[in-house]
Amino acid sequence: MDRDKILAAVDHTLLGQTATWAEIKEILDDSITYNAASACIPASYVKQAKEYVGDKLPICTVIGFPNGYSTTAVKVFETKDAIENGADEIDMVINIGLVKDKKYDLVKEEIEKIHEACNGKILKVIIETCLLTEEEKIKMCEVVTESGAEYIKTSTGFSTGGATFDDIALMKKYVGPNVKIKAAGGISSLDDAAKFMELGADRLGTSRIVKIVKSGKAINDNSY
């Protein structure tokens, strides 16, 4: 798999609590330079970021992040605010406690309301795989498929673990044909990125891949 194909799947990410505008700007510049799929940044920077990049780059932000236990009303408000500020893609965190209680109808209802608030923009649903059993992961594949969301996503990167090859293979097996997969959390090499994509990931949430390429060989050198 060539390097450009990997980069085109990357949501170049900076979500640390101490992120400054100078750091966000560098993420945006590098995302444009290396033709990333999007830049995934905190909601407080979305408006400034969109004004800075215009139509050169999709802006992604996170909702209910990283714990997912905000009320649905709060998540919907966050989503509408982000879209109004210029967000092109929304990555939301599910209410994991509801999954543990097997209240899957409520989880689905929340996703549907947030998807409606996206007003046609892409919604990625973070299920935080490291906190779920295999049975819960399979059920969430079904719930996300039924909800109409565009993507299912493994992880926030802020919990006890990130994406695994097994989780991507499981998602590929159980999500519907209209749901894409985003692997996120701990993706730290081009080889791993390529394997995630070969297993079925359509997007990669990572802060490292663009930095690896930026510090290495020329972008038009597709070997690694």
Residues sharing a CB contact under 8 Å with residue 170, sequence separation 6 or more, in sequence order: 134, 137, 138, 141
Write the CA distances from 135 to 87, 100, 121, 171, 200, integer angstroms.
33, 11, 30, 12, 20
* Model pLDDT, residue 65: 98
- Report pTM: 0.95
Closest Cα to residue 75, out of 40, 39, 107, 37?
Answer: 107
pLDDT tens-place values along the chain, 224 residues long: 899 999 999 999 999 999 999 999 999 999 999 999 999 999 999 999 999 999 999 999 999 999 999 999 999 999 999 999 999 999 999 999 999 999 999 999 999 999 999 999 999 999 999 999 999 999 999 999 999 999 999 999 999 999 999 999 999 999 999 999 999 999 999 999 999 999 999 999 999 999 999 998 544 444 43
Closest Cα to residue 57, out of 33, 81, 78?
Answer: 33
Q: Which residues are catalytic?
A: 91, 153, 182
* Measured torsion, CA atoms of residues 65, 66, 68, 70, in degrees rounded to the nearest 10: -60
Query: What's the token pair of residue 167?
Result: 């989780």
Angle formed by the axes of helices 165-174 and 134-147, nearest 10°: 50
Amino acid in position 166: D
